[in-house]
Every structure is written in structure tokens, then in C-alpha cells.
């Protein structure tokens, strides 16, 4: 139905314009990010392609739908289990098969640290390491109220600008340097290859990624 612009079995369930808006970004957590919210869907860039997706889950259930409207393909994963990371990995393998793509060694194909920019990148990477607060997470509702009670975000500098973010989900997320200081593609099962931004401001350091906003006071 989504790929057909709202048509299912010959009936128009919703107007095509509604699905077009639903599968395009309507709001971003930060202007430099490439994933945000459509209408009901998260919308991101996957290997240079527009992808609308949504996840769901409770204890004992984990699900995901991925739709790439411009390519005419989609994947649905339904499991009797609560592992959202496993579901995301299965969905990514399905996308690669359907698109005929080989797995990326490093998601997002980062440019790394350009020659000559080490004096900016390396001190920055050391400065932004440390404990953070989960300042915000969308969408609003139960998840937004509960997550700050359990999340203990920490950013660590591994080596040569590579960062790891832990304490939010079950698995860590890796941030790879990508050209301009503070810009990264993210290696994480949930939304592999999307972008993250770290900014140093007068009031402290901010980490923006997908639906998350982490903050460390100055």
C-alpha cells in the first residue's frame, strides 16, 4: 500500500499526497542530520537512497518495516522476541539483497580526518569525551519519560577521532570522523550509516543523532 501511494487491492486507502508527505522528512533534530520524521515514519538516507521506516516492540515482540519508495522495494520483519537490534540487522541484510548491494565495511563511507586537519580533530575528540545527559528523545510520550531514568550516556575516544557512544541502548554506536570537525556517520544496528553532529557551545557540548540529543554542561 505504501509503495503504491495508498492503493490496496484496487481501493485508495489514503491519498497519494499523504504518503508522499509521510515518506519525506518533515522535521529534523538538527539541520545537519540526514534522518528525521515524516508523518508516522522515520525517514533517513540509506546508501544514498530515501528510506521510510518504523519499528515497534514490547516484551517478547520486535518488528520493523523499511520502505524505499524511489526503488519500489520494502521489507517487513516480525519476530517473537524483544531484540530490536537483531530485527534491524535482518532488515538491513534484506535491503542489501533486494538492491543488489554488498555490505559496507564502514557504514556511511566516512572521509576520515583529511590530511592537515589533525590539529583540529584530535583535541576536539579528546574534549568531547565524557559522561552526558539524555536531554531529549522523540517522539514524546512514554519513551521520552522513561528513557532518561535508565540511560547513562558516555562518549569515549577510541583512536584517531573514532568515538563510541554507550549507555543508551543494548549495543554501542561508533562515530567515524568525516571531513569537517564534529561530523560523523554512525555505525549502529538500529539506523546504520546515518549522520551525527557534535557541537561545542557556550553552555556545553551537544551530541545530535537521529532522535537523540545528549548534553554535557560546560
- How far is Cα 166 from Cα 153, in angstroms, rounded to an integer? 6
Provide the domain limits for residue 167: 118-217
Q: Are residues 75 and 132 in the same domain?
A: no
Q: Are residues 87 and 26 in the same domain?
A: yes
Q: How many domains does the chain have?
A: 2
133's CB contacts (< 8 A; 6+ apart) are: 148, 153, 214, 215, 216
Q: pLDDT category, 129, cuts 50, 70, 90?
A: very high
Nearest to 88 by CA among 53, 59, 58: 53
- How far is Cα 127 from Cα 72, in angstroms, rounded to an integer? 44
Nearest to 192 by CA among 209, 170, 215, 213: 209
Identify whether 1 is part of a domain.
no
The SS3 assignment for 202 reads coil
Q: pLDDT category, 208, cuts 50, 70, 90?
A: very high
Q: Are residues 90 and 124 in the same domain?
A: no
Q: Are residues 42 and 127 in the same domain?
A: no
What's the alpha-carbon Rg for the chain, to the nearest Å? 18
Nearest to 36 by CA among 46, 47, 25: 25
Q: Are residues 67 and 125 in the same domain?
A: no
Instruction: Share the mean pLDDT of the chain.
Output: 90
The pTM of this model reads 0.86
Q: Kindly report, residue by residue over 147-204, the tens digit of the pLDDT.
A: 777 788 999 999 999 999 999 878 899 999 999 999 999 998 888 889 999 999 999 9
pLDDT value of position 140 = 65
Q: Are residues 206 and 167 in the same domain?
A: yes
Amino acid at each position: 500500500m505504501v509503495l503504491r501511494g495508498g492503493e490496496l487491492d484496487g481501493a485508495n486507502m489514503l491519498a497519494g499526497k499523504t504518503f508522499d508527505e509521510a515518506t519525506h522528512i518533515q522535521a529534523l533534530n538538527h539541520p545537519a542530520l540526514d534522518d528525521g520524521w515524516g508523518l508516522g515514519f522515520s525517514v533517513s538516507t540509506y546508501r544514498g537512497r530515501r528510506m521510510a521506516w518504523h519499528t515497534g516492540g514490547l516484551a517478547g515482540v520486535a518488528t520493523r518495516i523499511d520502505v524505499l519508495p524511489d526503488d519500489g522495494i520494502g521489507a517487513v520483519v516480525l519476530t517473537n522476541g524483544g531484540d530490536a537490534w537483531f530485527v534491524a540487522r535482518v532488515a538491513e541484510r534484506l535491503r542489501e539483497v533486494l538492491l543488489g548491494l554488498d555490505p559496507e565495511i564502514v557504514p556511511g563511507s566516512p572521509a576520515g580526518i583529511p590530511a592537515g586537519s589533525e590539529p583540529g580533530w584530535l583535541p576536539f575528540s579528546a574534549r568531547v569525551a565524557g559522561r552526558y545527559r539524555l536531554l531529549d528523545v522523540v517522539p514524546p510520550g512514554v519513551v521520552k519519560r522513561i528513557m532518561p531514568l535508565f540511560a547513562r550516556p558516555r562518549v569515549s575516544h577510541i583512536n584517531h577521532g573514532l568515538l563510541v557512544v554507550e549507555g543508551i541502548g543494548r549495543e554501542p554506536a561508533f562515530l567515524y570522523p568525516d571531513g569537517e570537525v564534529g561530523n560523523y556517520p554512525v555505525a549502529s544496528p538500529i539506523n546504520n550509516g546515518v549522520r551525527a553532529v557534535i557541537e561545542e557551545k557556550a553552555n556545553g557540548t551537544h551530541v545530535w543523532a537521529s532522535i537523540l540529543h545528549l548534553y554535557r554542561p560546560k
